[in-house]
Amino acid sequence: MKDKFYNYILKLQDIITSQIESVDGSAKFSEDIWKRKEGGGGRTRVIENGAVIEKGGVNISAVHGNLPESMQNYFNVQDCDFFACGISLVLHPKSPMVPTVHANFRYFEMYNQEGKVVDQWFGGGQDLTPYYLFNEDAEHFHQVSKNACDPFGKNLYPQYKTNCDNYFWNSHRGEARGVGGLFFDYLKPTADRSLEEIYKFVTHVGDSFLDAYMPIVEKRKHLEYTQEQRDWQEIRRGRYVEFNLVHDKGTLFGLKTNGRIESILMSLPPHVQWQYNVKPEKGSEEEHLVNVLKSPKDWV
């Protein structure tokens, strides 16, 4: 399974980066192949200063070795080795009218001292972070996500949508990072769901990403905006940074397993503002966004 999923994310990275270059029309991804001294490595692709994408990354990694003590305590295990592979992407568009997007699909195995697999699971999801809220964009993103889930069970979309709202929550701010999407973790084989079926579900969601996001980019990338709207985008990007550095488990795992720091922090936007005590004007589009983020809604 680990080889099968790794081959999948290799191809998915190629497909996604090709489509992003096409929609940007200007910038190209640079590629960085890296090795982890404890075992494994990855292929980082970053795009910067494009006509549409100000900064973005689509990264894959496959790392293995002894699970560090801090992570053994986290998983409540002892003397384990691990293998983890996944694809992670974040795209920060230049225009405040185009939302930031994040997606991640990953597979994890743990082994005992005899090398036997003692645990294995999939995780992942995709979520949208707008700076100006167009309801039809959020509805589209969620509808595509629901359509990807439904063939595997009508209960999955509402469950993983709620997980996403709960996970991408800046508790110190009392608001969501964005308008959500899907989030799932620790999907393990059970009596009624095999690992192969979980693989099919996760890859089906992965294949849906471009359908969920690219039509939104095409629709919004040519809209005009003011410097004040750009300032608001950079202020809201600050909340994005706060979540990633304070709450995100993926960032924590990467830092605690001696991951590659440039790839881990690739998700951070290039231009951010932290103004003191910012409050949007009453009745404004900015206030409308914040009100929605304080109380996540059903989009489908």
What's the pLDDT tens digit per position in 108-140? 999 988 888 989 999 999 999 999 999 999 999
CATH number reported for the structural domain that contains residue 229 in this entry: 3.40.1500.10
pLDDT in tens, 29-77: 999 999 988 899 999 999 999 999 999 999 999 999 888 777 777 777 7
Residue 300 forms part of a structural domain: no
Structural domain count of the chain: 1
Residue 265 forms part of a structural domain: yes
Give the domain range for residue 17: 2-294
Would you call 247 exposed, middle or buried from its count of C-beta atoms within 10 A (0-12, 13-18, 19+)? middle
Residue 207 forms part of a structural domain: yes
Residue 14 forms part of a structural domain: yes
User: 132-136, 199-203, 207-211, 254-258 — which is least confidently predicted?
Assistant: 254-258
Quick check: pTM over 0.85?
yes
Q: Is 271 a catalytic residue?
A: no
107 contact partners, CB below 8 Å, separation of at least 6: 1, 2, 5, 84, 85, 86, 120, 121, 122, 202
Residue 78 forms part of a structural domain: yes
Residue 94 forms part of a structural domain: yes
- Residue 112: closest CA among 141, 86, 80: 80
Residue 199 forms part of a structural domain: yes
Residue 230 forms part of a structural domain: yes
| Candidate list 92, 102, 140, 142, residue with the active-site label | 102
How much is the mean pLDDT over the chain?
94
Residue 31: DSSP 8-state: E
Amino acid present at 256:
K
Beta bridge partners of 211: none
